[in-house]
Amino acid sequence: MAIDPRHVGRRYGPFRTTVCAERIRDFATAVAGGVPGHFGTATGEPHPLTVDEQEAAKSRYGSLVAPPTFGVTFAMHPFALACADPEIGLDLVRLLHAEQEFEYHSVVRPGDVLTTTGEVVEVRSKGLLDFLTVQSETRNAAGELVLVGRWSAVVRNEAPPRSEAGPAKA
């Protein structure tokens, strides 16, 4: 079932998050094969500036910086809400994340207070597939743009039942 195009322009937020060092470290550790809450368990070498506070203090940032996909923790809410919005009516069991794009305007550090808003910017259909795209925009406490995300979901609809019965049995 095609998504009604009148949902384009539907807005979600604002959502506010305060970034903390532990959350950055746990995120980087889990992505790199480790156990959250257990620093040093990652087998896949997270970037030192995302997990090692001493190393990060010596960097040009002076503190840990969030890894590039950390935006999922503070900028995904509008997309998640749109996917589960009863007004739009997507079937969550048939829904997958289809495409993702981030535009980085400023690094994210512990202590940052971030505000995210989002808007449905596109709906389209291709055969049995329905696509929905939400654009998120995150700003810091000074109002400066930090991150723009484009989040697209695909819903894999079932083929409608055939109107005719199969070949007659002999």
Partner 1 sequence: MKRLEDFRVGDAFELVRSADRYRPLYYAAVSGDFNPIHVDREVARRAGFPDAILHGMCTMGWLADACTAYFGDPGRLSRLRARFSRPVIVGDTVTFRGRCVAVEGAGVRVEVEAVNQRGEEVLRGATAEASFEE
Report the interface residues with partner 1, using CB under 8 A. Answer: 23, 26-27, 29-36, 44-47, 49-50, 59-61, 65-69, 72-73, 76, 80, 92-94, 96-104, 107
Sorted by sequence, the CB contacts under 8 Å of residue 65 that are 6+ apart come out as 24, 49, 50, 56, 59, 107, 108, 109
The least CB distance from residue 2 to partner 1, in Å, is 21
- 3 vs 24 by CB, closer to partner 1: 24
At 56, is the secondary structure helix, strand, or coil?
helix
- 5 vs 44 by CB, closer to partner 1: 44
- 8 vs 30 by CB, closer to partner 1: 30
- C-alpha to C-alpha distance for 136 and 79, rounded to whole angstroms: 8
- C-alpha to C-alpha distance for 102 and 80, rounded to whole angstroms: 16
The least CB distance from residue 27 to partner 1, in Å, is 4
At 140, is the secondary structure helix, strand, or coil?
coil
The least CB distance from residue 91 to partner 1, in Å, is 10
